[in-house]
Amino acid sequence: MPAYALAASEAHAVSTAESALYLSIVVPIYNEEESIPHLYERLTAALEALGRSYEIICVDDGSRDRSFALLQELAVADGRLRVVRFRRNFGQTAGFAAGFDRACGEWVVTIDADLQNDPNDIPALLDKAEQGFDVVSGWRARRQDTFLNRRLPSIIANRMISWATGVHLHDYGCSLKVYRATVVKNIDLYGELHRFIPAIASWQGVAVTELPVNHAARKYGKSKYGLSRTTRVLLDLITVRFLLSYSTRPMQVFGAVGLLSAFVGSLLLLYLAYVRLILIQDIGSRPLLMVAVLMVLIGVQFLGMGLLGELIIRVYYEGRNRPIYVVREELNPKP
């Protein structure tokens, strides 16, 4: 290769390396007008001290206060701040999904906008991630929330999630997490599955760990969560357990139940046939006959559900991907 061509190639490689974005910060926001100026100041200070290229992606999840107006002002002054505005409130999971779709960095950090997470913990989380981990989850070891309605349900939920998924973390609910971009780019989020991302990512065989982080009491606004979240967590846990174990093979779960039910029902019918034909006894008035027929029918229905599930899985993986949110407008977008 000529010397000038080699020099040009090396210059292009250096330019590409320098232009590659290191970090994307994803911040879902819903009615946080009082927190936004303080969050932006603390976040940019921590990221500037890091000395690496970054972008901040704020997703306004249909806020009804001045949140978007404040973000708009900040985006005009800082081109590294990208703002996505939803048409209505789609939930925190949709906010994370929108941020992940648009993230251009090598690493993706998620953080809440309520100032309870400390941006100064981000460098430590990144250092841990660069030791060979794909997901580093924050652990609010000294959580500054009330015990009965916040911390106790969280402790119970975290233990249940760890037991059910096999990924043992102390604090699934902490939004401050670091992900390798290739991990979140390959995860489809629906419902309220954002808290289960480490468990879902573990299905890909990634390395997951956690690190204690700071936690502050909420200063502004109101918490968006309460005791009602416990029920949603339990329902989501069932969904995640199914996704981790049988998402690509639904026939194995529905088919197993169907075969068991049909087998037991068939045994009962054989017994009743023996009673009627050999013992010459009346079986028409026996409740056991109805139970046997019902179990066989249930077995057939579950087998049918398994087949339908297999067809739906084929459509899901072979069809077009559609986002779970609708964007009204976007500031400083990147192609």
3 state SS of 234? helix
Mean pLDDT of the chain: 84
231 lies in the same domain as 256 = no
Question: What is residue 36's predicted lDDT score, i.e. its pLDDT?
Answer: 95
List, in order, residues 6 or more apart from 177 with CB less than 8 Å away: 109, 110, 125, 135, 136, 137, 138, 197, 198
**Whether pLDDT at 320 is above 70:** no
Residue type at 158 in one-letter notation: N
Query: Are residues 214 and 139 in contact, defined by beta-carbon separation less than 8 angstroms?
Result: no
In this structure, the answer to whether residues 243 and 266 fall within a common structural domain is no
Residues 169 and 58 in one domain: yes
* End-to-end CA separation in angstroms for the chain: 34
Average pLDDT over residues 234-254: 76
How many domains is the chain partitioned into structurally?
2
Name the region of 190 (left: φ>0; alpha: ψ -120 to 50; beta: rest).
beta
260, 305 in Cβ contact below 8 A?
Answer: no
Which pLDDT score, from 0 to 100, does residue 189 have? Answer: 80
Write out pLDDT tens, residues 113-135.
999 999 999 999 999 999 999 99
Whether 316 shows a pLDDT value over 60: the answer reads: yes
**Any idea of the CA torsion for 317, 99, 241, 207, to the nearest 10 degrees?**
100
Phi, psi of 137 (to 5 degrees): -100, 135
Three-class DSSP category at 94? helix
Question: Helix, strand, or coil here: 138?
Answer: strand
Can you give the pLDDT at residue 103?
A: 95
Average pLDDT over every residue of 221-232: 64
Region 278-283 average pLDDT: 87
Same domain, 236 and 277: no
Q: Whole-angstrom Cα distance, residue 225 to residue 200?
A: 22
Co-location of 161 and 97 in the same domain: yes
Query: Would you say residue 232 has pLDDT above 80?
Result: no
pLDDT bracket for residue 326 (50, 70, 90): low
Which pair of structure tokens corresponds to residue 205?
A: 């065989």
Q: What are the angstrom distances between the C-alpha of 262 and each of 211, 213, 283, 301? A: 49, 52, 20, 10
Residue 48 resides in a domain? yes
**Residue 314: what are its φ and ψ, rounded to 5°?**
-60, -45
Asked if the structure places residue 309 within a domain, the reply is yes
Domain extent at residue 59: 19-247
Largest CA distance in the chain: 101
Residue 6 lies in a domain: no
Nearest to 102, CA basis, from 49, 28, 36: 28
**Angle between the 122-129 and 36-50 helix axes, to the nearest 10 degrees?**
50
Do 58 and 151 sit in the same domain of this protein? yes
DSSP track, 295-332: HHHHHHHHHHHHHHHHHHHHHHHHS----SS-EEEEES
Q: Are residues 38 and 175 in the same domain?
A: yes
Lowest mean per-residue pLDDT among 8-12, 27-31, 226-230, 259-263? 8-12
Q: Across the chain, how many H-helices and E-strands are there?
A: 11, 8
pTM of the model: 0.74
C-alpha closest to that of 38 among 121, 137, 114: 114
- 240 plus 266 within the same structural domain: no
Which residue reads 């999971």 in tokens? Answer: 93
The answer on 260 and 239 residing in a single domain is no
Do 113 and 28 form a contact (C-beta atoms < 8 A)?
A: yes
Domain boundary among 222, 247, 272: 247
